[in-house]
Amino acid sequence: MNVEAVIKTKTAIPLPQRTIIHLTLVTNKITEELGNALKPYGVSLQQFNVLRILRGQQGKPAHMSTLNERMVRKMSNTTRLVDKLLLKGYVDRVVCESNRRKVEINITNKGMDALREMDKAVTASEADLLAELTEDQMKALNLLLDKF
Amino acid sequence: MNVEAVIKTKTAIPLPQRTIIHLTLVTNKITEELGNALKPYGVSLQQFNVLRILRGQQGKPAHMSTLNERMVRKMSNTTRLVDKLLLKGYVDRVVCESNRRKVEINITNKGMDALREMDKAVTASEADLLAELTEDQMKALNLLLDKF
DNA sequence: TTACTATATTTGTATATACAAATGTTGTAG
DNA sequence: CTACAACATTTGTATATACAAATATAGTAA
């Protein structure tokens, strides 16, 4: 991806600014591609993210606050996100017995099955996005990103 | 920025997936910081972006399609974005005489003055975000990002 | 001229997101 | 026990964004 070509400019961009724009463009592309990979399943990237977190709980239910902590993109309205998954039958939600302020969210079997399918699509899409990077380059990239 | 710490997970994440998440987290941080830097000026990152493109035109007006092409984040509703800048008096908009389908958008003096102030804030914010990277590391990062 | 196609922008609508306020529950000081 | 602060989630509202359809203008072939 060439920054200058994408934003159609001929003038040189200062390195710091170029770095910021470059990161934004790459992440835009990632978001778009992964979103497209998930489109056939009717879930957004955020909804997929929540399902993955729930699976990671290994049977233990997750509270709203847990989801919020672990989501890649923090958002205030996790409630409405879970609502949508509930509607699809991918999760269930019950009030926590020991502390009725909390709610417990679990992934259903239907959700697990759907998630497995989505995983395939997403993993393929990720591999595609990263196709031109060697393992060492990915490691180098991660090290550089640690500096933010 | 440590990925595992941010999304509060103890289990190892496969390198490709970690790379994707890492990029997303860094860009989230960038968007948030730059958005905050612009908040005092009452413009969004996108609006700032449009103002910068207009300044880059060096007096020549830009058509809607030009803005769309050059924006970091392509969007369908450039019209409404320009509406907001118009309301603030930062740009003006006239129907193109030679081709009445097109509109010509210019940055006003007021817009230029405001942009100069915003630039200071954004540049400072960018420098802050990139503070831990040397010039060589920025170059290395840009090269790796070219592979997407 | 008329009909048709392409171009440039605008608008409608649905969904997403951010932020603040509201609701309901729990713990605790007096 | 009551009042009050803290907590966990939900809801309201405004703004942002994506996508498709609508509008208006221009170019072109018959």
Give per-residue pLDDT as tens, A57-86. 988 999 999 999 888 887 778 999 999 999
The confidence band for A132, taking pLDDT boundaries of 50, 70 and 90, is very high
CB A136 within 8 A of CB B16: no
Query: What's the pLDDT at B74?
Result: 77
Is A2 a member of any domain? Answer: no
CB A56 within 8 A of CB A67: no
Residue B136 reports pLDDT greater than 80: yes
Cα–Cα distance for residue pair B146/B111, rounded to 1 Å:
33
Domain at A93, CATH number:
1.10.10.10
Query: What's the pLDDT at A79?
Result: 93
The dihedral region occupied by B8, where left means phi > 0, alpha psi between -120 and 50, and beta the remainder, is left
Residues A17 and A77 in one domain: no
| A43 DSSP 8-state letter | -
- Using one digit for the tens of pLDDT, what is the confidence trace for A80-117? 999 999 999 999 999 999 999 999 999 999 999 999 99
Residue B75 reports pLDDT greater than 80: no
Residue-averaged pLDDT of chain B: 92
Residues A23 and A75 in one domain: no
CB A70 within 8 A of CB A63: no
Cα–Cα distance for residue pair B135/A19, rounded to 1 Å:
11
Task: Show the domain range for A61.
Answer: 44-113
| B87 DSSP 8-state letter | H
B97 CB neighbours strand D below 7 A: no
Residues B49 and B104 in one domain: yes
Nucleotides of chain C within 7 Å of a protein C-beta? 7-12, 15-20, 24-27
- Using one digit for the tens of pLDDT, what is the confidence trace for B85-116? 999 999 999 999 999 999 999 999 999 999 99
B87 CB neighbours strand D below 7 A: no
Residues B31 and B48 in one domain: no
Cα–Cα distance for residue pair B141/B138, rounded to 1 Å:
5
How many folded domains does chain A comprise? Answer: 2
SS3 A92: strand
